[in-house]
Each structure stands twice: as structure tokens, then as C-alpha cells.
Amino acid sequence: MSGTAELLVEPDRLAAEIDRADPPTVLDVRWRLAGPPGRDDYALGHLPGAVFVDLDTELCGRPGAAGRHPLPDPAALQAALRAAGVRAGHPVVVYDGGDGMSAARAWWTLRWAGHREVRVLHGGWPAWTAAGLPVDTGTPEPTPGDVTVAPGGLPVLDAAGAARLAAADSGVLLDVRAAPRYLGEHEPVDPVAGHVPGAVNLPAPDYVTRGRFPAAEALRERFAAAGVGGDAPVGAYCGSGVTAAQAVLALHLAGRPDAALYVGSWSEWVADPDRPVATGGTSGR
């Protein structure tokens, strides 16, 4: 599953699919780091038939030593997905408020959980409304799904794995946060500034613009400039594994379905004071 057509869907095509007798399950996963809750946006209007799923409480575990957005408990995730109508083998489309981050994390979570038929609405809610497509304000009552969560569908890095990848002679650990956070000049969220020693900075705007991705060849060029090439291992992290999930989606679009997500990301890394922290502009290689 590596082609753009299998990972992203444009608004007009999705609208046609929603009109079919057996439409895809559509999940609204709008979210903001600092709030307000995406559920408020959902109540004001959403795609026809879309069900709201909360990133913080349903797609991720409780924040703590494993990070702000750790892996969810498989049983809890399965219950949430079934309640949203997700069915085994049935296509799912996820969308967010337009930046593509929470939709990418939802895509990643479903794929990690073993559900392969997942696409992201390219451009999210703004692209849908800009196209003049129908909007609902009611709350649907989906038929409960029967999806079974089977973790392991996508590769995951823990802190030790991220450290090994960052220190390896071949392979790249991408830090996709803004440069001032990577450099240790500014840290607005976590208690410690800096980056995993050996990680390479590639801020998200270098490969995605307002939730829309360039062509696969352009993505390959941008990742290659950061040292991603051939079959050497590649992983990504950010503050809490949301923006980095978007990087993994971009790597899939570029033909690297083996890309790993460090789910705990920086929020997990700095939870242990014994883990080293690098600052400044060198990669540490």
C-alpha cells in the first residue's frame, strides 16, 4: 500500500463514494493541541455520515511517562472503533481541520491496529467546504462495527530503538519539529529543550503545506536531502507522535512503507532524565 491513490482521497471522489449504497466509514478526527475540543467543530458541521472520534481519549492512551499521546490500549481502541462503525475489511476515510496532523495520526493508528483500508481526505475539512460539498449537523448513530484490533500493522520505535537509529551509521531518525525546538532555543510544550542526539531536523513544512502533500517525486527529493535514501532504516518523531505520524504518511507516499514512528517522541524521551539531550545545529553523527 504505497501509492497516493491508496492513501489520500480528494473531496469530489469521496463525495461520490459517500453517495453509494455502501459508503466508506468516515471519521472526523478534528483536534487542536491547545483546544478547544474538535467535537465542538463537529457539532457545527461535518461530512455526511461522519462519526467523531477523539484523538486524545479514543485514539491514544493516557498521557504519562510514555508521552502525551502514547499507544492506545488495544481493547479500548477496538471498542472505540466498533462504536464508530468501523468494520473489518471495510474502507475508512479520516479527516481533520486541514493541517493533516490528527488525520495522519488516525490513519497511522488504524494501520498499526491492522486495518489496511484507510485513507486521508486530502486537505481535510477546508478542502471539502471549499468544494461546496454537502455538510451535516446531525449526529449519526452508526451500526456497531466488528473490527478486530491486531497491533503491529506498522513499525514502531521505542526510546531505545530511536536512540539506536539516530546513532546508526546508516539510517535516519527525523525530528520534524520546528527548528527552534530541535536546536534547543525554544520549547513551548515540554520541560526540556533540544533533540535526540543524532537526529536530523526536517520540519513538517518542508514536506507538507496546509495538509496537502506534493507529488511523490518531490517528496523523495525532500527526504533524500535529509539523508533518507535507499533501503536504510528511517523513523520519525516530534513532540508527541502526531506531527511525526504525518511524516510517516509522507514517507509512505514517497515509497517508504517501512518508515517507523517513535510514538512517545520527545515528550517520552525527556520523561527520563538519564536520556541524553543534544542542542545546536549539528546532527551528532
Q: Which has the closest alpha carbon to 59: 6, 9, 114, 113?
A: 113
Q: Which has the closest alpha carbon to 103: 70, 75, 125, 133?
A: 125
136: which 3 cell numbers?
451535516
How far apart are the C-alpha atoms of 206 and 234, rounded to whole Å?
17
Q: Which has the closest alpha carbon to 121: 251, 15, 204?
A: 15
How far apart are the C-alpha atoms of 136 and 257, rounded to whole Å?
35
AA identity, residue 243: T
SS (H, E, C) 168-215: CCCCEEEECCCHHHHHCCCCCCCCCCCECCCCEECCHHHCCECCECCC
AA identity, residue 160: A
Strands 25-28 and 51-52: parallel
The C-alpha cell 536504510 sits at 232
How far apart are the C-alpha atoms of 80 and 57, rounded to whole Å?
10
Residue 60 is among the residues annotated as catalytic for this protein: no
Catalytic residue among 7, 9, 157, 238: 238
Strands 8-9 and 25-28: unpaired
For residue 36, is the peptide bond before it cis, meaning its omega torsion is within 30 degrees of 0?
Answer: yes
Residue 129 and residue 236 in contact, taking contact as beta carbons nearer than 8 Å? no
Q: Which H or E element spans position 119?
A: strand 118-121
Show which residues are catalytic.
Answer: 238
